[in-house]
Amino acid sequence: MKKVFLCLTLVLALPLLARAETWNGVPFVDSNCFAKVKADPDSHTRECALACAKSGFGIIASDGTFLKFDASGNKKALALLKETSKKDHLRVTVTGKRNADTIEVDSIKLD
């Protein structure tokens, strides 16, 4: 009985381990341009990001790695880019769940 209870507790606790994280004020770039703009992401323009939108989007984490967005996050990011008049210095706050090098985006907003 104790083993069943322990197993059931672990199964129910697993979703709690996948908590949402928030990345504040991080550079926002398209996948195509990440390597080119990694050293100076604030120089990356909205126009370029829109032109490279098919490659997908993501953020440059504090450790310099690129975390790409899931499909839903890419749609949210594209809508955000289309709405803004900012020309560069594209920094965002993203909330979502990280799964390896991908973020399942819950929300994204320009800073």
pLDDT (tens digit per residue) in 48-101: 999 999 999 999 999 999 999 999 999 999 999 999 999 999 999 999 999 999
Tell me the C-alpha distance between 71 and 86, whole Å: 23
Cβ atoms 67, 79 nearer than 8 A: no
Percent of the chain whose predicted confidence (pLDDT) is above 90: 83
Which residue in 88, 80, 27 sits closest to 58, CA to CA?
27
Least confident of 13-17, 25-29, 46-50, 83-87: 13-17
pLDDT of residue 19: 87
Cβ atoms 18, 97 nearer than 8 A: yes
Phi, psi at 58, each rounded to 5°: -175, -170
Q: Residues with Cβ < 8 Å from 73, sequence gap 6 or more?
A: 57, 94, 96, 103, 104, 105, 108
Kindly list the domain boundaries of the chain, sorted by start residue.
19-110
- The pTM assigned to this predicted structure is 0.82
